[in-house]
Amino acid sequence: MLKKQVTNNLRVKSFGIIASPGEVIKKVPITIKAANTVVAARKSLENIFDGKDARKIAIVGPCSIHDRKAAIEYAEKLNKLRGKVEDKLLIIMRTYFEKPRTTIGWKGFIYDPFLDDSYSLKDGVVLARKLLVDINEMGLPTGTEVLGPIVIQYYSDLISWSAIGARTAESQTHRELASGLSMPVGFKNGTEGNVDIAVNAIIASSAEHNFLGMDDRGRISVVATSGNPYCHIILRGGANGPNYSHECVEEAELHFKKAGLNSRILIDCSHANSEKNFKNQEKVWESAWRQIFAGSKSISGVMIESNLFEGNQNIACGWGELKYGVSVTDGCIGFDETEKLILDVYKRL
């Protein structure tokens, strides 16, 4: 007699139940002031992309969040700076909770908030949400990278701007997801530097989609979206080298024109544009702003990775050995240098 064989979940160790997005949102509700911060920042971004607001965008902050105390201190400093320049610059703090890995490594605050390989996602989603509420409550808008298609639902109401990374810009899942997100979304060019990947993603995300997803109550649902009209490209360089120069920006503009789209470009000062050396970010920053001062209408803003203190460190050394306010992922410039760069641009604007 034939015996029925087990064919499913052969490599799954366990299923851990986690609260639904709606339950976490109820536990950590958005405040009135935080909601006003998000609504105002999203509208400002839309107006900048539409050419109705002459300001430029500066997306500034840590490569990744790993320490609540340091993140709050950084946010307080950045918020004071925001108040000095908000008539000419729209500053958004990077609050990146998920980290894409080329192979393996720490996946971010959401997945491992205690940096001990415990993978306490049930704590991570709550802690991340609390941090976002507190930062938005200051009046400082936040931005993040959307990596997991489910994770973003735990805090998307607190995000004013989001990015889709170079590794996922070609993913149909992420293009569909972006079509339903409530904030402007930037698509990075591909890891090789391919601009067409991002342009195609912008076209796809502006359209309506129907796909399998999850509602706030955690139920599998057919998600119907209306399309996102505020997607744009983030030039971050690639395997073929940096792509922040005037010539590279012009080439990106041609791709937009060929696709029948308005050119909306952010320049990423880090990653391949900095050749993975955080000290090169200033060079990219200056080049981007020179192009803006020279009259570029396509460049809407600039991204830079910044922390309380410069450099980075190995997360494997553990909490007892970690330096306060120093990145555990990509190297960042320190806040003092960040303030200097932003104030200098502000004066020139």
Task: Check which CATH number belongs to the domain holding 329 and give it.
Answer: 3.20.20.70
- pLDDT attached to residue 99: 84
Asked whether residue 134 is domain-assigned, the answer is yes
Asked whether residue 212 is domain-assigned, the answer is yes
Decide the pairing of beta strands 220-225 and 209-214. Answer: antiparallel
Regions of the chain with pLDDT less than 50: none
From the CB of residue 1, how many other CB atoms can be counted at a distance below 10 Å? 2
From the CB of residue 104, how many other CB atoms can be counted at a distance below 10 Å? 6
pLDDT in tens, 35-64: 999 999 999 999 999 999 999 999 999 999
Angstrom CA distances, 251 to 134, 180, 197, 242, stand at 41, 29, 14, 13
Number of domains composing the chain: 1
Decide the pairing of beta strands 209-214 and 265-268. Answer: unpaired
CA 289 – CA 42 distance, rounded (Å):
23
Asked whether residue 138 is domain-assigned, the answer is yes
- Selection from 181, 109, 197, 105 nearest residue 146 by Cα: 181
- pLDDT attached to residue 293: 97
Asked whether residue 17 is domain-assigned, the answer is no
CA 311 – CA 279 distance, rounded (Å):
9
Reduce the DSSP state of residue 304 to 3 states and report it: strand
From the CB of residue 83, how many other CB atoms can be counted at a distance below 10 Å? 11
Domain span including residue 263: 23-348
- pLDDT attached to residue 319: 63
Asked whether residue 13 is domain-assigned, the answer is no
Asked whether residue 46 is domain-assigned, the answer is yes
Task: Please provide the DSSP assignment of 88-116 as one string.
Answer: TEEEEEE-------SSSS---TTT-TTSS
Asked whether residue 2 is domain-assigned, the answer is no
CA 86 – CA 342 distance, rounded (Å):
11
Asked whether residue 255 is domain-assigned, the answer is yes
- pLDDT attached to residue 116: 87
